[in-house]
A and B are shown apart, each in its own frame.
Chain A
Amino acid sequence: MDLPSVTTSVDGTIPIEALLFQGEDLLASQDGVGLYVGNDKLPSHQCGTSHLSSHRLFYIDSPHPTRRSFSLNLSLVKKTEYYAGLFTSSPKASLFLSSDSSDDLSPWTCSLCGFRNPPGFSAVCGLCGVPVPTPVQNLVPKSRSSNACTMCTFINHPSLATCEMCDSPLKRDGDGPSTTSSLLIKLSFRRGGDKTFYADLKRALMTKAWQSLMTPHLEPPQASLGTSSGISHILSLNQSSQSTSNVSLSLALQDLQALMVKAKHMVNLADDLSSRLSAVESTTNNNGDFPEGTSSLLSDISNLAISKPPSLESTPITLEMIKNRDEARWLKELAVELSSVLHGIQVKKSDSDTSNPDLLPLDRLWVSWNRARGVSLIPPSTFLDVLPHLESITNMRIRIIGQSSIKVLYTPHFSLPSISQRISQILPQPLTPTSFGTSERITISLSQLLLSEVEMSDGTPICRDDWESAIHVGVGGGVLETKYYPNVFVDYVWDGHSE
C-alpha cells in the first residue's frame, strides 16, 4: 500500500516553521502519529509527528525524516471523521480526499521575480503582482504522474496497466476505481492529543485559508479598479507605500514638536521635585520615618538625576582650546577641572547627601562631571586617562575594591588600613553591611564590598557568619544578611575534649 499521489514529499529535517509559506500559520503539532491508507496500516509511516498549518497537513517521519515525510493540501480534504478509540485501538482522524485534481492547488514560483507563492486561489504573484503563468499550472499534474514500474523501475507508457518489462501491475493515479480506497487517510494518535488536533483540523477546514487572497496588506484599495498586474501595478503600490510613510513621518514630527514644548516644563518640574525631596528628606532623616531603603533611593535619585548639577566656574576645557592640541596637557587641564568638580561635591556634602564624598564610585563622578560641563562631554576612556593626573594634584586615589570590578576614588580616610582600623574599633560588636554602611555614610553595596575586601586581606580582624547556616531562619527578626564577627580563629587554642 502506498501513499496517495496527491501528497508532496518534503524534507523533514527542515524545521516545520521553515517549510511554511508566507501567510501560512502553524496551528497544531502532535507526535506519536501513525498513518493508515484506506483501512490498512502503512507500515513505513508508523512513527512520526503531524503538523497542521492553515493550508496543509504535514507528516514528518521520525526514523526517516528525509525520505518519508510529506505534506498534504487541506484543499483536497472533502470530509473528516473522528474515531475516539477503543481499548488498544488508538483514536483516529479520517480524512477523505477529493480526487478532483482541479482543486489541487500547488505552490508555484513566479516566473518574473522568483517568489515562491503559497498554494491558493490568488491569481497574481504576492510579491510583484504578475499573474500566474497558465502553462505552469497545467503542467504540474502531468509531471507528477510518473509511470515508472515499482518493481523494475522501467518507465512505461501512461496508458499501460501492467509493466511492459516484468508484467507487474502499474500504480495508477487518481482516476481508477481501484484507487478510491487510497483516497482515505487515517491519522492514528498513539500518544493522545487527538481531540485538540482534530478540533484544529476542523477549524482549518472551515476557515479555508487557501481561498483567501494572499498578502492583503500589499493590496491598495484603489488597485482593484485598474489593472492589477504589470508595471503599472508596481508603480501604484510604490506610490501608496510612499504616501503612507509620508503620513507617518509627519505624525512623528508633530509628536516630536509636542515633546520639545513639554521638555522645558519637565525640567522645571524636576527641579521643583528635587528641592521638595531634599526638604522632605532633611525632616524625615531626624525622625527616621522612612525605611532606610526608601530614603537612600530618594537621595540617589535626587543626587544623580535631578539635582542641580555642580557648576563649573569657567567654560569646559576642550582639546581645541589647548595650544597645538597637546593631548597630555589637555589631560592635565582636565584633571584640574575635575578636581574643582570634586571640591564642589565635597563642599556640598553636609545636609541631605547620604553618600560619602570621600569614597566615590567612578560612574558617579563621571556623571557629575559631565553634568557640570554640560557641553562637549567627556567619554569614559578620556575620563580614565584623566584620573592618574588627578592622583598627582589631590589626595584622592583610585583602587578596585577587593575582588569586585568596581573602581572607586577615595581619600586616605578610606584606604584599606584605615578601614580595617575603624572596623577593629567597632568590634567585638558584630557588624553587618547595613550597620557599617550607616556609620561610614556609604551605600550598603559599597559597604559590603569594603567589608569583604577587609575580610580577604591578610591578618584580617573579621570573619563572617552567613545567615544560611542558621537552623531556624528568620528567628528573632532582622534582615537576613552576613554578620561579621571578630576573627575568632586567630590564636585559637583547642579547649575542647581531648584524649
Chain B
Amino acid sequence: MALSSHTTSTGFLLPSIHSAPPFFTKQPNPITNSTATEQWIRLISEYARFKRLFYLRIDDCEATGNDWDEILRNERINRRLLPTYLSYIIETMIEKGLAEYEPPKQTRSVILYWRAPEEWAEALHGWVVSTGRLNTIMTFYEITEPEIESPLSGIPLPLLRKCISILAKTNRSQIIAIPDGEGARFFARSTLQ
C-alpha cells in the first residue's frame, strides 16, 4: 500500500502514516499500539511547535473548527481520532513528561511541553540577559506580550511560572508580588546568595 505525505494549507507536512486508516484506531496489539502512539505523540508535538499551540483538549477531537483539525481528522480518508484514543495518547505523553494536566485535577485538557520547561527557562533567561533587563522588576504581562516579539511571546502563565521557579532554584529569578498581580526579577548567573 503506497502512502504519501501531504502538505496542509498552512504549510505543515503531514507524515505518510497520517493517510493510513489504521493510524486512527487504537491498536489492540501492545507492540503495534506503542509504535502507533509514539507516532501520534511525535505528530502532536511537531504540529504544536509548528503552530505554537500550548493546549490540547479532548474536546478538540470531538468538535471541528479548532486549531487541531488538520491532524486529528483526515477528511481524505474519512477518519478521525476518537476521544478514547486521544485521552490514552495524552496519558502516555504525561508519562513521558511531554505534557501536564492544566488546570490540574482533571483529565480533559493538557499543556504541552514541545520544549522541556528547562529549555523554556533557559530561553527566558537568555532573553532577559540579551534585552538588558536583569535586576529589573517586570510584570508577567511584559514577559508574555513584549513590544518586540520574543521567543517567549504568548507562552501561557502556568508555563511561565514553572520557568521562573526553575530559575529560582539556581537563584536566577525571584517572584515578586506587585500591585496589579505578579511580577518577577531576574539575576545574572553569578549573583551571590
Contact = CB atoms under 8 A, between A and B. Distances in A.
Interface string B4-34: 0100000011111110111111011101100
Contacts, number: 97
Contacts of B18: 496
A87 interface: no
B88 to A, nearest CB: 14
A487 B32 CA distance: 8
A328 interface: no
B9 to A, nearest CB: 14
Given A489-B32, A497-B13, A465 B22 contact: yes
A470 B79 contact: yes
Secondary structure dominating the interface of A: loop
Given A458-B31, A485-B21, A471 B73 contact: yes
A470 B39 CA distance: 20
Contacts of A488: 1, 3, 17, 20, 22-23
A468 B82 contact: yes
Contacts of B25: 463-466, 468-469
Nearest to B18: A496
A466 B22 CA distance: 8
A496 B14 contact: yes
A496 B20 CA distance: 13
Given A463-B32, A497-B14, A499-B49, A469 B20 contact: no
Interface in A444-464: 452, 455-458, 460, 463-464
B46 A497 contact: yes
Interface string A421-458: 00000001000000000000000000000001001111
B32 A494 contact: no
B29 A463 contact: yes
Contacts of B141: none
Contacts of B80: 469-471
Contacts of B27: 463-464, 489
B82 to A, nearest CB: 6
Contacts of A469: 21, 24-25, 79-82
B147 interface: no
B21 A465 contact: yes
A489 B39 contact: yes
A465 to B, nearest CB: 4
A464 B29 CA distance: 10
A483 B21 contact: yes
B118 to A, nearest CB: 18
A489 B46 contact: no
Contacts of A465: 21-22, 24-25, 79
B102 to A, nearest CB: 23
A464 B39 contact: no
A472 to B, nearest CB: 6
Interface string B67-82: 0000001010011111
A489 B28 CA distance: 13
B24 A456 contact: no
A403 to B, nearest CB: 9
A80 to B, nearest CB: 57
Nearest to A487: B32
Contacts of B43: 496
Interface of B: 1, 3, 5, 12-18, 20-25, 27-29, 31-32, 35-36, 39, 42-43, 46-47, 49-50, 73, 75, 78-82
Given A463-B25, A466-B25, A470-B78, 13 more contacts: A456-B28, A465-B21, A465-B22, A465-B79, A470-B79, A483-B21, A488-B3, A488-B17, A489-B32, A489-B35, A490-B35, A497-B15, A497-B46
Across chains A and B, which 3 residue pairs bring their CB atoms closest together, nearest first? Answer: A496-B15, A465-B21, A489-B35
